[in-house]
Amino acid sequence: MDKTFISNQFKTFATDECRGSCALYEHLATKIAEDDALLEICLHTQQGQPIPNLFFGAVHYLLLKGVEHDLKQFYDSMVGLPGRVVDSFPYFKDFSLHNRDAIISVLQHKLVQTNEVRRCSYLYPSFCYIFGKVKKPLALIEIGTSAGLQLLWDKYSYSYKSNDVFGNPYAEVHITSDIKGEGIPFLYTDSPPVLSRVGLDLHINDLNDPEDYLWLKALIWPNHHERRELFEAAANEVRGNHLDLIEGDGIRLLPGIVKDIPQEAAVCIFHTHVANQLTQEVKESLLENIQMIGRQRDTFHLYNNIQGRKLHLDYYIDGNEFTNTVGATDGHGSWFTWNLSV
């Protein structure tokens, strides 16, 4: 990993991730890509981590912790109203250089584990599709679960640019999203039944731990107020439900977890925006494990960032393999497309 590689990551982040979504991060990422001193700080990032997300998260984390600096005037999350973009970079650079050691410590010890609740907007129709295929209760296994917010997708309610509401009608977490294109998923009015839910991650974020809670909030972009509100509501939901969250190598743990799932359930392994942090060798190992499990029982694998950015659903029914592309998705779940037919 060198500065040229990191610079290109920030350029791509600015255009592909931030444009039209966060003007502040787009502006700063473009500037960081050309700044040798800030790129040098980023060299301390753990291998395999998405560097721009982690660097911006580290700065935001320190601001939320109370480190005083005039940089906060540019952060909506700090001032409660739209922050300025123009002239923000000199303040950002000054903050980063004055807090260099603290930022490096975050880069070396924290992980990008954005628990984006709105991604459940496309998980809900995906699990409706899965349930329609097998009519069995679902046994959920999430790889890269972070704090487990997405494991509770069946506890939330959903609407898709209409007055119709799906899922749990009494939910405190209500998620809206836009289905683009001509494909429309079949949606059960009530959530499909879930038999069990297990989350696997190298580090589990405990929402009762103030540090973990603050770090997850720091990963939410400063101007994304609705994302913060959804996170806070979903965090309360997690605190009120029992989740089996296991710390360790999820891919190695997977076969043992599946053995404990009753045969009357359909195994549903899923992960969103996690595989981009895995090496090609690890990705292949994951697919081999799931293929082995699928030879023995009905198994579904819902994922992205293995064969490109699109959402995929591979599944095994009676030992037969099926592969599908569900569609394209916005990184924060504000829209998706649907290619599956019932």
The answer on pLDDT for 83 being more than 80 is no
Residue 342 has pLDDT above 80, yes or no: no
Whether domain 117-337 has CATH 3.40.50: the reply is yes
Question: Are residues 29 and 11 in contact, defined by beta-carbon separation less than 8 angstroms?
Answer: yes
pLDDT tens-digit series, residues 154-195? 999 999 989 999 999 999 999 999 999 999 999 999 999 999
Non-local CB neighbours of 225 within 8 Å, separated by 6+ positions: 76, 77
- Report the C-alpha gap between 276 and 48 in whole angstroms: 8
The confidence score (pLDDT) of residue 235 equals 95
Residue 131: other Cβ atoms inside 10 A: 20
pLDDT tens-digit profile of 215-240?
999 999 999 999 999 999 999 999 99
Residue 277 reports pLDDT greater than 90: no
**Residue 62 CA to its chain's centroid (Å):** 22
Please give the structure tokens belonging to residue 302. 């819902």
Looking at residue 157, its pLDDT comes to 98
CA–CA separation, 38 and 7 (whole Å): 10
Residue 65 zone, left/alpha/beta (φ > 0; ψ -120 to 50; rest) = alpha
- Using pLDDT thresholds of 50, 70 and 90, give the confidence band for residue 61: very high
Rounded CA-CA distance 301/192 in Å is 17
What does the pLDDT read at residue 307? 85
Q: Check residue 19 and give its pLDDT.
A: 94
pTM of the model: 0.89
Q: In this structure, what DSSP letter does residue 193 have?
A: P
User: Hunting for tokens 């779940």 — which residue is that?
Assistant: 333
pLDDT-derived band at 94 (thresholds 50, 70, 90) equals very high
Q: For the chain, what is the total number of helices (H) and then of strands (E)?
A: 12, 12
* DSSP symbol at 153: G
C-alpha to C-alpha distance for 3 and 33, rounded to whole angstroms = 9
**What pLDDT score does 45 carry?**
95
Distance CA 250, CA 274 (A): 11
Cβ contacts of 41-44, under 8 Å, gap ≥ 24: 41/96, 41/100, 41/103, 41/104, 41/107, 42/6, 42/107, 43/1, 43/2, 43/3, 43/6, 44/104, 44/107, 44/108
Q: DSSP readout, 204-267?
A: ---TTSHHHHHHHHHTS-TT-HHHHHHHHHHHHHHHTS--EEEES-HHHHHHHHHHTS-TTSEE
Counted residue by residue, the chain has a size of 342
The answer to whether residues 183 and 125 touch, using CB atoms and an 8 Å cutoff, is no
Residue 331 has what pLDDT? Answer: 87
pLDDT confidence of 114, banded at 50, 70, 90? Answer: confident
